[in-house]
Amino acid sequence: MSYLIVLSIPLLIMWLMLSRYFFNVLESEVRKNNINALKHIQQNIDTCFGELDTIAYQIYTNPKLTTYMISDNILNTRIGIKELKNYIIGNKFVDEVFVYYSSLDRLCSSSHYITVPEFANIHRNANLDPERFYQVINSADEKNIVTSIYKTQHIDGKKQIVYIVPDTTYKSNINKRTVFFLISEKSISGILKYYKGNTVIYDNNMQIVAALSYDEYLYSDDFQFMLKSIDSTKLSTIEINQTRYFISYIKSPTTKWTYLTLLPEDIAMKEVMTVKFTFINVQIILIIIMSIVVLYIMRLNYNPIRQLKSFAESKLGKTIDCNNEIEVVRMTIDHMSKTHEELSTKITSNKSAIKEFLLLNLLKGNYENITQFNDKARDIGISFTSSYFGVAIISFTHIDKHQYPDSSKIIYLLEENISNEIQGYGKDNIDNDKVIFVFSASSNDTRLVKEFFSIKQRLLLGHLGLQATIGISNIYKDTGNIGKSFIEASIAIDYRLIKGIDRIIFFGEIENQYSLINNYPVDELNILEMFIIEGDINKINNSIHKLINLIKETEMPLFAARCLCFDIINKILKTMCLINREFISLTKDYPDVMALAQFETVEELGEIVNRISLDICKHIKENREKHKEYLIDRLIAYIKENYSDNQFSIQRMADYFGMSQSNIGHYFKQATGQTISEYVNFLRIEKAKLLLTTKDWPLQEIITHIGYCDTSSFVRKFKKMVGTTPGTFRKIYETGKISP
């Protein structure tokens, strides 16, 4: 129960504060809404008067309403009446529009052409006798007033307002014209009736123009005095006849009218009080329900706590004489925390072994891509983020011949302060005097790599007194060549016997020296790939024997033979796994890149290649049908998924499958009877035909959707394959003469 009381006190205080804030905000919003409603009335009426100003300007500039035209003949007068009528058609705010011609001493309206006495007789509600009429017209001109408002007393229960818009741009009294409008009180009251309470409009002399209700207190001196003391910037509260009102007013800069609203407080705050009452009742009910639920949960949770205590004691292996179950749990958690720390220490101590294992598998080519490696290595804090990869092997000699160097310190110096351009990780080599360093670079610029390893050479010499010789492979973008990079780095480091120690030796320099780039059998390797894809056992054997003989007959250096054997084995394994993934399980007994680097004779390498050749031929013979179907199914699936991409190309497709462009094109043509381009065009045209008959898209959108960029090229291909243009095809389909 004490817990419940402690919990309830801050909740109650918070509830009271939130409630007070909530209702103050709600009350403030109600007050603001009243002021906004008043502003809305003022803006509506000002807008109406603004429209009348526009009409007056149009009348003054209308050549059919000049003094000359009106005085010319009866026909022109009728035209003028019709023109005025057109101006106020549809305007519910104004009753009538007049133009007073001073030189004619007559008025033209939308219905009459009359004299001033006739106007006074017809429009009595305007309360303008001839004498007062002339006074108003002349004063408006003399005072240069743009808008002047005049009102009358009630006549037959009606009231009219005269709105005069003098022509201030016309300076002469000769042929002077004055436009004015008659506005009924109903037009203004009609705007006021949509709002609660009583809304009153005063003119600039503080006389009532219009009101929703003409209550007596509006005319009292006390009320007039009270108005003068109200702050126009706030919504104030006053008391009239024992009733409290919210009162606010604003003044129009256009008409000089004052707009005032009086809203009984009980009506204005009715919704607020209803919400407040409902809110309080709901909160009380919720507090009662929450209290019941808390009590129930506390009782319900007591047994689990006791069970938790028993469980904790069982884990500790002893009974604790303590009535505080929480303390028992704390002791158990403390014990588990210490156990976890010990386990973490063991894992940390094995981190280097895990890293060695992952890097070894990367060198052996056991990961399809670098993402797969990163996913496995991320937990121990290593990953490669750059696009180019290579391998370096560091051989070191200590200045002090009797002191054996610590490889962990060497690896630490190699890995620390990794730059944005190059990052890498080291592992021990089989030879104790070497370290393997797998690295990635932002580009294949060897100058950048050389600068990086030069810095590492100086670090090893300065910190550990080691003279480091570094053999560096070529830099490749494909992670599948990391194994080959290891062989190249091994060859480069072996050349320290010729180049000398404390040097950085690039495999590319050795490769160029022996002219291996020009003589390397790239075409023969691509031909071997094609024969494997075709499944022709005899051609596969002949191609492999030709490559082995090339090694023997050309007296190829051992290091070059190692690289070529790696490329042969890698080409065979990648192509076979591409065709049939079941072949992956057979590759585990083949020598990896580490083993290839240890072979010392060309004969040993040739035997390995021959054994692998026999295995793949046996596998192809046993799985001939699967061999043919699996790859073509994958090629067709890739095309169907990507043909609508305008970046689709055979080269991109070949890169995706790890094949040469010529081989993939040749195999597809042999398997399907058509080229890849022909098949892609077929799919695109069929898709275009479907879209032309099922969508109302424009042609350009359809062309983009199916992967074309050039409209004219598409139209030519469509006409060649279908026999008609896309537009004609769509029209023929719409007439029902063809089916989609």
| % of the chain exceeding 90 in pLDDT | 5
- The size of the chain, in residues, is 740
Q: What's the token pair of residue 95? A: 């009753």
Q: 68-82, 239-253, 307-321, 626-640: which range is least confident on average?
A: 307-321
Confidence (pLDDT) at 599: 58
Range 491-505 burial, b when 16+ CB lie within 10 A, else e = bbbbbbeebeeeebb
The answer to whether residues 569 and 590 touch, using CB atoms and an 8 Å cutoff, is yes
CA 612 vs. chain centroid, Å, equals 52
pLDDT range class, residue 157, cuts 50, 70, 90:
very low
The DSSP letter of residue 430 is S
The model scores a pTM over 0.85: no
Confidence (pLDDT) at 169: 72
CA distances from 381 to 352, 526, 679 (A): 11, 39, 46
Sign of CA dihedral 49, 51, 52, 57: positive
Check residues 541 and 482 and name the one with the higher pLDDT.
482
pLDDT digits (tens, 9 = 90+) for 686-731: 999 999 888 889 988 999 898 888 888 889 989 888 889 998 888 8
Confidence (pLDDT) at 97: 92
Task: Give the mean model confidence (pLDDT) for residues 576-581.
Answer: 58
| Residue appearing with tokens 């004015």 | 180
Burial label, 287 (beta-carbon count in 10 A; 0-12, 13-18, 19+): middle
Check residues 152 and 668 and name the one with the higher pLDDT.
668
Q: Which of 389, 396, 400, 432 is nearest to 414 (CA)?
A: 396
Confidence (pLDDT) at 676: 92
Helix, strand, or coil (residue 206): coil
Confidence (pLDDT) at 150: 44
Sign of CA dihedral 505, 509, 510, 516: positive
At residue 263, what is the residue type? L
| Residue appearing with tokens 């002219």 | 515
Range 605-627 burial, b when 16+ CB lie within 10 A, else e = bbebbeebbebbbebbeebeeeb
pLDDT digits (tens, 9 = 90+) for 215-253: 777 777 777 777 777 766 566 777 777 788 878 778 888
Helix, strand, or coil (residue 343): helix
pLDDT digits (tens, 9 = 90+) for 467-521: 889 989 888 887 777 877 887 888 888 777 677 788 898 888 877 665 544 566 7
Q: Which of 689, 685, 537, 682 is nearest to 622 (CA)?
A: 537
Check residues 110 and 597 and name the one with the higher pLDDT.
110
C-alpha torsion 160→162→163→164, nearest 10: 170
Task: Give the mean model confidence (pLDDT) for residues 151-166.
Answer: 64
pLDDT higher than 60, residue 737: no
pLDDT range class, residue 400, cuts 50, 70, 90:
low
pLDDT higher than 90, residue 198: no
CA distance 496 to 507: 12
Q: What residues form DSSP beta bridges with 540? A: none
272-278, Cβ contacts within 8 angstroms, sequence gap of 24 or more: 272/23, 272/26, 272/27, 272/30, 275/26, 276/23, 276/26
| Residue appearing with tokens 């009180």 | 185
User: Mean pLDDT across the chain, nearest whole number?
Assistant: 77
Rounded (5°) CA angle 418-421-426: 45
pLDDT higher than 50, residue 166: yes
Check residues 434 and 101 and name the one with the higher pLDDT.
101
Helix, strand, or coil (residue 716): helix
Confidence (pLDDT) at 683: 92
| % of the chain exceeding 70 in pLDDT | 71
pLDDT digits (tens, 9 = 90+) for 95-148: 899 999 988 889 999 888 999 898 888 887 667 788 888 888 877 764 333 333
pLDDT higher than 80, residue 80: yes
Confidence (pLDDT) at 356: 81
Q: What's the token pair of residue 518? A: 């020009």
Confidence (pLDDT) at 148: 39
Check residues 331 and 354 and name the one with the higher pLDDT.
354
Phi, psi (deg, nearest 5) at residue 163: -110, 110
pLDDT digits (tens, 9 = 90+) for 23-54: 667 667 766 777 787 788 888 888 888 888 89
H/E segment holding residue 471: strand 466-472
pLDDT higher than 60, residue 650: yes
C-alpha torsion 674→680→681→686, nearest 10: 110
Where helices occur in 259-316 by DSSP H, the ranges are 265-268, 270-316
Confidence (pLDDT) at 639: 92
Number of H helices, E strands in the chain: 30, 16
pLDDT range class, residue 402, cuts 50, 70, 90:
low
Check residues 164 and 573 and name the one with the higher pLDDT.
164
Helix, strand, coil % over all residues of the chain, rounded to 5: 60, 15, 25
Q: What's the token pair of residue 331? A: 């002791």
pLDDT digits (tens, 9 = 90+) for 6-15: 556 766 777 6
Range 388-402 burial, b when 16+ CB lie within 10 A, else e = bbbbbbbbbeeeeee
pLDDT digits (tens, 9 = 90+) for 661-675: 888 888 888 888 889
Q: 192-196, 347-351, 353-357: which range is least confident on average?
A: 347-351
At residue 90, what is the residue type? G
Task: Give the mean model confidence (pLDDT) for residues 339-355.
Answer: 68
Three-class secondary structure assignment of 83-113: HHHHHHCCCCCCCEEEEEECCCCEEEECCCE
CA distance 468 to 455: 11
